[in-house]
Amino acid sequence: MPEKKEKFYLTTPIYYTNGLPHIGHTYTTVVADVIRRYKRMRGYDVVMTTGTDEHGVNVERAAKKAGVPESEYVAKMADAWRALWDELGIPADEFVRTTDLKHVRTVQWLFKLCKENGYVYKGHYTGQYCIYDNAFVNDTKPGDNCPDCGRPLETITEENFFFKLSSFQKPLLDFYKKNPDFIQPDTRRNEIISFVEGGLKDLSITRTTIRWGIPVPGEEPHVFYVWFDALTAYLSAVGGPDFEKRGMWPADLHLVGKDIIRFHTVYWPAFLMAAMLPVPKQVWAHGWFLMDAAKMSKSKGNVVLPRPIVNMLGMDALRYFLLREVSFGQDGNFSYDALVTRYNSDLANGLGNLASRIFTMVEKFCAGKVPDRQDDVTFSTEEQQLDQICERAGFISRTERPDSVPSRYDRLDFSRALEEIWGLITNIDTYLTSSQPWAMADDPNKRKRLERVLYVASEALRFVAILAYPVLPNCTEKIWKQLGQQQPLGGQQIDDLKWGQLNPGTPIRKTEGLFPRVDKTEAIERIESMANEELNPTPAAPAPAASAPAATGASAAVATAPAVSDKIGIEDFAKVEMRVGQIKTAERIVGADKLLKLTVDIGTEIRQICAGIAQYYEPESLIGRKVAVVVNLAPRKLRGVESNGMIVAASVGPEGRPVLTGFHEEVEVGARLK
Ligand code: MSP
């Protein structure tokens, strides 16, 4: 353990504000949180930064479409990102927005340093620009599509300030050589080295065609190129020009997706070298989570959202899956099937079941207290097996062993770290099954052996809790409390972990189960329907994610924030077919406290429609009521129940209370609303 608290500064990318987080973004942020928790358990003073990248032409366009000023648009989006990280239990220590004044000042200061040191000049640039990636794309011609995202490029000519990136070919190559761990994993390192060896062209770092950006002082209308702006956020988060006071810079680790490795390992160190500032110690590029073999994106419609998964299975399940399923650095496929399978096998049947077995037996056979260690019990074959468990627990927790859990965390080899922990879980489980402590309970001669078995199982479980905590903070904290431990689990030091620290006589507190088993088909259906609701909120169901905390409503509102200000033609309105319907039956839906399942006569047929009005209308009061129904809406499932149409309601007050439309005169069922 470090003598005096050593600092560790790590970052996620700062995310674009023209969309909300999906599982890909969640992945990077979860990994950062796991490292943060792990490093704290190794005695480091850790700061983790995330934030939002709020400038550029995409935001300009999104704000225009929403009919609001850019500043208002990004403020709402930044709030939604921050709220989601809070809700998921992964808030950053520093959340930096690129519209923050402290950030603006840092960017301007960095530019000034680069300029004073002779690395910036004015010139003209004509090139093909991808407005989606915010980057000029080399080796393309007018009319081409972006080689990265496949969308059309635009030809742009403008006066720019240029950064002399070409002067940094040798310094960068020397730097990579001296710091072989700077770029991880090695495949990415080789890729970047050959890119730099191929020659570096000067880089334009300001724009005059974009308005929504940080101004270059005294050089208006120049604004900074989004990457010069965005990368600097890592520095502005920990003090900007005053970074020395905070003592966190240089960053120890930038975590990024493989898509943005070049910006972080070529441009960023070059900017810092030009300004004569310290360069980060490491950039780690992980792979992508793919959906149907393609990178997730809103435009492809293949995004997986974190919130529905967390509502159904809990955050630990999502964290475990993301880290266990794919070896860090590689691409991996996301599938709900694999997620729920792992949940049931590794969490419900594995860790959850083991903890419950141990606590139940301690409660039943040892009066709810950690039993005596009974170290002097004569060794039998069973106890030898049991000693192997102690040995294994000790072994996987030894910080100096390269194949132990801490060493694997150190190498960001999360899936193998979890494999080791789950190896121990299986061993303890097998041991309990073969030694059958319940069969010793009635035999006074076997009392000591019974106690020893349960002591060792409980102590091994304590090791599991400590070692798995960085990935599974919620359930391990519960296990920790059940083991009668008072101090916060996150404050435990792995280097101090020793066999036998669980005190005999400690009262254990058996509480709820950790991971109730779920039916796979039903769980997937529910996750999918919650995701569907979040992506396409039902107007009559103002807060669709029934079990989500308050932030859900806020972010759902932001997801739909681009309130269309443009008028529509009558032909657009005519696309919506609304008819008078009469409610025939109404009932509540188990597990969905905001939804009612209705059958509605629309004149030509009886439809099943779900409406998010259960908190405001008693089902019985609705029978016979005439309402306005959108009848040509594509059918969809809400909480796993098919809904074939939509009931129209006003949304009233800050909480969006639904008030059903009605008619003051007699109307015929099926009459069209025009
Ligand atoms: N704003 C820039 C980053 C600037 S950093 C100074 C940006 N933002 S982003 O919103 O597009 O987020 C990119 C990051 O999100 C990726 O680098 C990666 O960390 C994460 N991911 C986005 N999609 C992903 C997957 N499908 N899978 C895994 N991670 C992905 O680029």
Instruction: Write the pLDDT tens digit of every residue in 122-151.
Output: 999 888 988 776 667 878 889 999 887 788
pLDDT in tens, 113-127: 999 999 999 999 888
Over residues 593-647, the pLDDT tens digits come to 788 999 999 998 899 999 999 988 999 999 999 999 999 988 887 777 888 999 9
Q: Are 129 and 153 in contact (CB under 8 A)?
A: yes
Q: Please tell me the distance from the alpha carbon of residue 229 to that of residue 53, in angstroms, as a whole number.
A: 9
Question: Is residue 525 within 6 Å of ligand 1 at its C-beta?
Answer: no
Ligand 1 center–CA 211 separation, angstroms: 24
Q: Evaluate: CB of 256 within 6 angstroms of ligand 1.
A: yes
> Letter for the amino acid at 64?
K
Q: Is 231 in the pocket of ligand 1 (CB under 6 A)?
A: yes
User: What's the pLDDT at 549?
Assistant: 28
- Tell me what pLDDT residue 542 has: 41
End-to-end Cα, the chain, rounded Å: 73
Task: Point out the least confidently predicted range of 396-410, 460-474, 528-542.
Answer: 528-542
| Greater model confidence, 424 or 157 | 424
Residue 434 has pLDDT above 50, yes or no: yes
Q: What is the mean pLDDT of residues 528-557?
A: 52
Atom of ligand 1 nearest to the CA of 260: 17
Nearest alpha-carbon partner for 479 in 501, 500, 464: 464
* Band of pLDDT at residue 556, cut at 50, 70 and 90: very low
Cis previous bond, 185, omega within 30: yes
- Within 8 A by CB and 6+ apart from 335, the residues are none
Over residues 439-447, the mean pLDDT reads 90
In terms of residues, how long is the chain? 674
- Percent of the chain past pLDDT 70, that is, above it, reads 93
Specify the residue with its C-alpha closest to ligand 1, atom 7.
15
- Counting from 1 in the atom list of ligand 1, the atom nearest the Cα of 268 is 6
Residue 82 pLDDT class (50, 70, 90 cuts)? very high
Which atom of ligand 1 lies closest to the CA of 15?
10
**How far apart are the C-alpha atoms of 576 and 613, rounded to whole Å?**
22
In the predicted structure, residue 457 carries a pLDDT above the cut 50: yes
Q: What is the mean pLDDT of the chain?
A: 89
| Of residues 224, 15, 210, 208, the one with CA closest to residue 109 | 224
Write down the pLDDT at residue 226. 87
Least confidently predicted of 94-98, 175-179, 349-353, 665-669: 665-669
CB atoms near residue 199 (< 10 Å): 8
Q: Which of 308-322, 526-540, 569-583 shows the highest mean pLDDT?
A: 308-322
The per-residue pLDDT for 339 is: 96
Q: Of 195-209, 227-241, 415-429, 591-605, which range is least confident?
A: 591-605
pLDDT in tens, 4-57: 799 999 999 999 998 889 999 999 999 999 999 999 999 999 999 999 999 988
Distance of CA 534 to the CA centre of its chain: 16
Q: What is the pLDDT of residue 635?
A: 84
Share of the chain above pLDDT 90, in %: 69
Ligand 1 closest atom vs CA 28: 19
Residue 287 CA: which ligand 1 atom is closest?
28
In the predicted structure, residue 544 carries a pLDDT above the cut 50: no
| 303 vs 489, residue with greater confidence | 489
> What is the CA(13)–ligand 1 centre distance, in A?
6
For ligand 1, whether the C-beta of 53 sits within 6 Å is: yes
Angle, to 10 degrees, between the axis of helix 306-313 and the axis of helix 23-41?
A: 60
| Cβ(25) – ligand 1 distance below 6 Å | yes
Asked if pLDDT for residue 554 goes beyond 70, the answer is no
In terms of DSSP bridges, do strands 223-224 and 206-207 run parallel, antiparallel, or are they unpaired? antiparallel
Q: Quick one: average pLDDT of 542-559?
A: 30
Q: How many angstroms is it from 304 CA to the middle of ligand 1?
A: 14
DSSP for 402-468 reads TTSHHHHHHTT-HHHHHHHHHHHHHHHHHHHHHH-GGGTTT-GGGHHHHHHHHHHHHHHHHHHHHHH
Q: Identify the pLDDT of residue 563.
A: 35
Alpha helices (H) in 268-335, listed in sequence order: 268-274, 306-313, 315-325
> What pLDDT band is residue 561 in, cutting at 50, 70 and 90?
very low
Least confident residue range of 164-178, 318-332, 405-419, 645-659: 645-659
Question: What average pLDDT does this structure show over 378-406?
Answer: 82
- Crossing angle (nearest 10°) for helices 414-435 and 381-397: 160
* Residue 88 alpha carbon to ligand 1 centre in Å: 18
Tell me the average pLDDT across 471-484: 96
Is 14 near ligand 1, meaning CB less than 6 Å away?
A: yes
pLDDT value at 590 more than 90: no
